[in-house]
A and B are shown apart, each in its own frame.
Chain A
Amino acid sequence: MDDKTNTEIYRAGKGSNTGIKDSDPVTTEIVRNALNSAANQMKRTLIRASFSPTVYEVLDFAVALYDKEIRLLSQAPSLPIFMATMSFCIEAAVEGVGGEENLEPGDVILYNLPYGTGSHAQDAAIVMPVFLDDGKTLIGYATNKAHWLDIGAKDPYCTDTTDVFQEGVVFPGVKLYSKGEKVRDIFRMIEANSRMPVGTLGDINAQIASIRVGAKELLRVVNRFGKDTFEYAVERMFDAGEAVIRKYFESIDDGRYIGKGIMDDNGVDTDLIEFDIIVEIDGSTVRMDYSTAPDAQRGPINCPLPSTVSASRVAVTMLAGAGEPPNEGHLRPVEVITRPGSMFHPLPPSPCFLYGWSAISAMEGIYEALAKAVPTDVPAGSAADICAVLVWGAKDNKYGEPWVGGSPFPMGQGGFAGGDGDTMIHVAEAAARFPPVEVWEALYPWRFEKFELIQDSAGAGQHRGGLGIDIVFEVFEDFSLISTVERTKVPGWAALGGKSGKTNGVTITYPDGKQKKIGKITNMQLPKGTKIAIHCGGGGGYGDPKKRNPELVERDLKEGYISRKFAEKNYAF
């Protein structure tokens, strides 16, 4: 796969590095604060009004404000892997309704075609153009993208689709509201195509409430400062963001660093998928080259361009963004090279339901590469998954709809120069929380048996990885199981002589006691009384285990994090 003749470079939006200094740094800072505050209000509104735990607990959404050139003004902390895709969503949504000239005040556009959102069809973007009070002058966009409970894919969640048409109903840029008037037909179509229409429509209403708050606040900020002052301030804000990232990469030696992505299989075939990501640091620019990745796969692990770009941007801004929410400027130094038709730039009708897992693998690869350049700033690899398992039942429950229970779960994170890794949800979903067992058990017919750290699961190292966890539950009615669990074959990477942690996995125990291990699977029918065990793996170690402080080894023994046997095998003990 060395054919690089057919590649594309993706860079951030128009107007890179304007050098405009007209706007004073005070107004710029006040505008920046006001825009971030507006995004926070959008986020809180969406959380408070949403119906599905996927939104209000897992934070499987992004909210953002963009200017009229579709450049990122601000976003609230939410699902990282969504956050840098929103410009693509707006471009595609606006194009879908016939371009900017067809936008009217009061319009709300729905768009969920995977190649434009970067996601699967369940992740629906809603876009609202924002106009000045004259009703003519476009000043920007309020947008969000949230994971819907169901929009009619072949199954409520899919690991084995072979084209995009099996993955849900597509709305390729249609108006949900036109000049403020609700377009009821679209809502009726959504209702008719969802297995869980009440929750899905509830979440759409929450999304709309959220963008309306954002639109109102954006207009207020523009009116507060005046359009010209606002626009100057925004240019300067972008330049400032850009400078933060460029300064970081200027301080690193130029070079080409290679990281590896590994996935169990493509969901349909059984072969291991491997790819390289070449990270090139070139002065203050960082270039991610995905062009050597395999061709688009038959199964749904293809990652559409917007999410390939997003994974790259998120990896960079989390490392070099000084801990702050990025804007368009922070994204400018990041360049992404892809090959159309490859798994990181799939073309229609390639299936993409599991795009997020490829994006996680890509982030792991990017960090593995960057660790070679700046080992003190980058932790070792994690267990490289979110260990998400969904169970669903078609029987009547108290809400009169089929029920779905599922979540991403924590797993071991990598050790780093400053200490041991912890047990957390993958950085690609950094703000996500899994729902409480007590809340879940009050809702659905299941009982959890275990939520416990796994002894000896963490990769050994001078700074060890974080521990994995075992989650075990029993379901009380016949049900379907969907497992998206990845990286059951090859563990995550370790750094500087550390060792890898335990891999992920799922074990099914039938009522008769027979057991079966599975990886990715869709709609496995199981009888009531079946127990599911999710094994979330451990993080990679950082540095030579023999150099680990003996007191810490003793402590790990006392806490039961490691066994004596493990200590003797791995540490100077």
Chain B
Amino acid sequence: MAKRIGVDIGGTFTDLLFYDDKTNSYIVEKVPTVPDHPEQGCLNAVNLAVSEDLLQESEYFLHGTTVGINALLERKGAKVGLLATTGFRDILEIRRGDRAEMYNLIWTPPPPIVPRHLRLPVNERTMADGSIHLPINDDDVLEALKVFEEEGADSIAVTYLHSYVNPEHELRTETLLREAGFEGAISLSHKVSGEFREYERTTTTAVDAFVRKRMQNYMSQLESDLGDKGFKGHCLITRSGSGCMTFAEAEARPFETIMSGPVAGAEGAAELARALQLGDLITADVGGTSFDTCLIINGRPQLLYQGIVEGLPLQTPWVDVRSIGAGGGSIAHVDAGGLLRVGPQSAGSVPGPACYSRGGEEATVTDAAFYLGMLGEGELASNVKLDRTKAEAAIAKVAAQLGMSNENCARGIVRIACASMSETIREITIEQGNDPRNMSLLAFGGAGPLLASLMAEELDITNIIVPPYAGNFSAWGLLGADLLRATARSHILPVSKENIIKANSILDELFSELESRDNAYDANKWVKEIAIDMRYRGQEHSMTIQPDIKKGRISNSADELQQAFVDAYENSFGGSLETTTEIVSLRATLRQTLPARKYSRADYTDSNTEENKSLQAYSFHKNEWMEFKLYQRAALESSRTYEGPAIVSEQTTTIYIDSNDSFTSLDDGCLLINHSGGAN
């Protein structure tokens, strides 16, 4: 065990969670995010919550931040010069030709992150098999450098075709640029990604070059500020593809950290699933503006190997979190066709839901839930007392347009929000051959535990788990992240005995590259993991298979590997094909876990108070108003089974428990809801 600090910077709030291994307790802090100086918001939280002594004893500082994504959003990053194979400098601008909003006649893509006058051609050409068709013309590189220097480019991205097979020309370019005295950052596409698809790899490389300096400045500033306060431990940052990496590694590969918020929650869910043997989970993370869901299978979040940010594809591991614009702040309105719609517009934190009395006048999911009694008496942690009159006035505006009663309208708003969340869960589970009915729903975020019972009803799920610190679960998740390093290489190999030997020698290269990245951390503790993208010959879509591993090498026979793929394929598509299979890409990961932490109930008080409080709330199960008992989560007796209906409050979230639910607070800190019935 070890003392550790987790700080998650979100758009509105910066959340801190400190874990003290001696007392096995947590300190929670929430401060406003400082948009122009996010590190300042982070330090504010540390100053408020963690004493100097505790800070000095802490071994890890784990961080999730929106700095990288904001650099892209605001287009405030380095001035990047891009070198491309002659004839291909416009890849970044031509993209793949598609329209993100296909029903929008005048949709146009965001401008390319490197303007055309800074994208320059170099005569060189490598072929798909790695052979050199045209040797590199050194003068082209040097001429381009002159232009970059005149234009003040401080970062250079080098993106040649097929460099993932043979990086010779990109490496030569780096040498030439350095010899000519260029001192800025250089991003080589084959180091950023070992996979084919030139638009995606070029974009990823350009993003790397674009955000690197800003991320470096930010991380070194934060690390030195923490050091000044006496912190001597490791600084770690979350990866978009799960796990975390040292600041030093992140400075070299900043694009791997772009997506942080939803990932930390998924990471926490996976840790709980492993530690408490919760089986396969579906996460339901409902915040103010969005709903995020992710599957945890065999104790790991499901990964994709390409992400997308602001319309830019990133060729890097990516936790498969699906988001829709539905959350507590989502606004209800009547569309042009006279139907009730909820979201994607959100009241955000300013002005917020009408019942917050901060000037919001539009009905949100929170207003509807509060109106129906689902939020109990409406006393929130931050000393906000919700205003029922304001909620009702906002709902009445929508109800009048539909000719409905306020109550029916409020129920409709909640039902529609939950139905669209449930559809998202259905899509992510069923398309991968998983049946949601066999999984548990892990509900967190400010409004997740509020809506979980309704989602379970839609999805026929019987187990709902509300984790400890459900309202700050992203920060909680940060605290248990594994250290991860990952890389991949595209190399098409029909499955055969000889080609498994070949694949293993490629994996040796990948692992030795990973091991050489940063020596600052305990090199002996790395565990090697391998994943293989495979497909039927002739098919483009591949599926990722986890082979058996011995000493960092694939230990399966060709037949076993082929069978593993066929099994996975049948699971997804309900049938297989009579065609041979091939390896498309090899993926190598190094993992080491942080020291374990204990799981126990948060803020447990055995005060056993006020069990007789109750209020009238709407039961969606019974379709009527009922008496709901009110509880404080911290005051629930351990391991006792309570019957619904009930509203359970905790510091940063509220749990709505319907009449067909029972619930138990477990010693490991989770609250388990047993949901009976179900819609289907």
Which chain A residues have a beta carbon within 8 Å of chain B's beta carbons? 24-26, 28-30, 32-34, 37, 40-41, 44-45, 47-51, 53, 56-57, 77, 80, 198-199, 202, 205, 209, 212-213, 220, 223-224, 236-237, 239-244, 247, 317-319, 321-326, 329, 377-379, 398-399, 408-410, 416, 418-425, 427, 430-434, 436-439, 441-442, 447-453, 469, 472, 558-561
Contacts and interface: CB of A to CB of B under 8 A. Distances in A.
Interface of B: 87-91, 93-99, 101-106, 108-109, 115-117, 125, 127-128, 133, 161-162, 164, 196-200, 334-341, 402, 404, 408, 411-412, 415-416, 419-420, 423-424, 426-427, 430-431, 492, 536-541, 572-575, 577, 579, 679-680
A40 B420 CA distance: 13
A142 to B, nearest CB: 15
A520 B128 CA distance: 31
A442 B196 contact: yes
B98 A432 contact: yes
A451 B336 contact: no
A378 B105 contact: yes
Given A199-B538, A433-B98, A442-B128, A40 B427 contact: yes
A224 B335 contact: no
29 contacts: A24-B412, A25-B338, A29-B340, A29-B419, A33-B420, A34-B419, A41-B426, A41-B430, A51-B540, A77-B103, A202-B579, A212-B574, A213-B430, A239-B337, A321-B103, A324-B103, A325-B103, A379-B106, A409-B97, A418-B106, A423-B94, A431-B99, A431-B102, A433-B97, A437-B88, A438-B164, A439-B196, A441-B127, A469-B94
Nearest to A449: B87
Given A209-B574, A318-B103, A422 B108 contact: yes
Contacts of B200: 436
Contacts of A241: 337
Contacts of B199: 436
Contacts of A50: 539-541
A73 B162 CA distance: 45
Contact of A45 (B99, B162, B431): B431
A423 B98 CA distance: 9
Contacts of A441: 127-128, 162
A30 B416 contact: yes
- Most interface-central of B97, B336, B492, B540 (chain A CB within 10 A): B97
Contacts of B537: 398-399
B197 A438 contact: yes
A168 B79 CA distance: 54
A323 B106 CA distance: 10
A437 B94 CA distance: 13
A51 B539 contact: yes
A57 to B, nearest CB: 7
- Most interface-central of A329, A377, A410 (chain B CB within 10 A): A410
Nearest to B121: A452
Nearest to B197: A436
Contact of A379 (B105, B133, B415): B105
Nearest to B201: A438
Contacts of A318: 103-105
Contact of A33 (B104, B337, B423): B423
Contacts of B196: 436, 438-439, 442
Contacts of A45: 431, 573
B339 A32 contact: yes
Contacts, number: 219
A319 B408 CA distance: 34
B98 A431 contact: yes
A449 to B, nearest CB: 5
Contact of A47 (B88, B337, B426, B541): B541
A477 to B, nearest CB: 15
A53 B535 CA distance: 14
Contact of B133 (A26, A447, A472): A447
Contacts of A319: 105
Contacts of B339: 25, 28-29, 32, 236-237, 240
Contacts of B541: 47-50, 56
B102 A77 contact: yes
- Most interface-central of A212, A442, A450, A559 (chain B CB within 10 A): A442
B97 A436 contact: no
B573 A453 contact: no
Contact of B128 (A53, A422, A424, A438): A438
B98 A209 contact: no
Contacts of A410: 94-95, 97
A223 B680 contact: yes
Contacts of A418: 106
B94 A205 contact: no
Contacts of B91: 451
A368 to B, nearest CB: 14
Nearest to A43: B431
A432 B97 contact: yes
Contacts of A47: 541
A561 B408 CA distance: 57
B97 A434 contact: yes
A558 B133 contact: no
B116 A561 contact: yes
B419 A30 contact: yes
Contact of B423 (A34, A56, A377, A558): A34
A202 B575 CA distance: 11
Contacts of B539: 50-51, 202
Given A26-B408, A237-B339, A399-B538, 10 more contacts: A26-B340, A26-B416, A48-B573, A49-B541, A243-B338, A322-B335, A322-B336, A424-B109, A447-B127, A449-B87
Contacts of B416: 26, 29-30, 33
Contacts of A32: 339
Contacts of B427: 37, 40-41, 44
Nearest to A330: B337
A313 B498 CA distance: 55
Contacts of A29: 339-341, 412, 416, 419
Contacts of B95: 410
Contacts of A240: 335, 337-339
Ranked nearest first, the 6 interchain pairs of A and B with the lowest CB-CB distance are A240-B337, A26-B412, A410-B97, A450-B87, A433-B96, A37-B423
A438 B91 CA distance: 12
A209 B336 contact: no
A444 B337 CA distance: 50
Contacts of B128: 438, 441-442
A387 B106 CA distance: 21
B113 to A, nearest CB: 14
Contacts of B133: 447
Nearest to B87: A450
Contacts of A25: 334, 338-340, 402, 404, 412
A139 to B, nearest CB: 16
B87 A472 contact: yes
Contact of B197 (A77, A223, A439): A439
Nearest to B133: A447
A422 B110 CA distance: 10
A448 B341 CA distance: 48
A438 to B, nearest CB: 4
B397 to A, nearest CB: 15
A462 B339 CA distance: 39
Nearest to A42: B431
Contact of B579 (A28, A30, A198, A420): A198
A28 B538 CA distance: 43
A451 B94 contact: yes
B88 to A, nearest CB: 6
Contacts of B340: 25-26, 29
Nearest to A53: B540
A11 B91 CA distance: 43
Contacts of A26: 340, 408, 411-412, 415-416
Given A33-B420, A244-B336, A422-B108, A438 B680 contact: no
B133 to A, nearest CB: 7
A448 B87 contact: yes
